[in-house]
Amino acid sequence: MTENSMTILVVGVGKTGTQVLRQLLKNPRLKILTLDPRENPHAVSQGIIENVDFKEALTPLTLDSVLKVTHADLILLTSTAQDMGLGESAGVDMFSDALRDELSTIADVPVIDVARSTAR
């Protein structure tokens, strides 16, 4: 990595995360790390990445430990409720939105909710 490189943590490598990874991988100066709790997420099954770097869920309780290990400069939240197999009910969307808002509020690094901006 060069001195000006950036570490980006892509949280969720389902369909939306796969699209994000395809674009990020075009820039070799970026250090891209992935986090997803699923056994075989879309980006792995499609061959975009070989495996997930961190196999866990990102929550307000795990945020600090994940940031200490990854040293991420930026977090991209890319998992939709559909990616996680949670369905499309209004309650699930509200819970997912609240969790994303909480992560954005408490993180010491910028958090961009890519799933929200591309899925709606």
In the chain, what are the domain boundaries?
Answer: 6-119
Q: Which one has a higher pLDDT value, 3 or 99?
A: 99
Whole-model pTM: value is: 0.84
In the beta sheet, which residues pair with residue 74? 8
Query: Is 70 exceeded by the pLDDT of residue 92?
Result: no
Share of the chain above pLDDT 90, in %: 58
Length of the chain: 120
Residue-level pLDDT at 119: 45
CATH class held by domain 6-119: alpha beta
Average pLDDT of the segment spanning 72-87: 74
Q: How far apart are CA 39 and CA 52, in angstroms?
A: 9
Average pLDDT of the segment spanning 39-57: 94
Q: How far apart are CA 65 and CA 49, in angstroms?
A: 23
Q: Taking a C-beta distance cutoff of 8 angstroms, is the pair 77, 36 a contact?
A: no
Q: How far apart are CA 54 and CA 64, in angstroms?
A: 14
Split at pLDDT 50, 70, 90, the class of 89 is: low
Q: What is the DSSP string of 33-81?
A: EEE--SSS-HHHHTTSSSS-SB-S---TTTHHHHHHHH--SEEEE---T
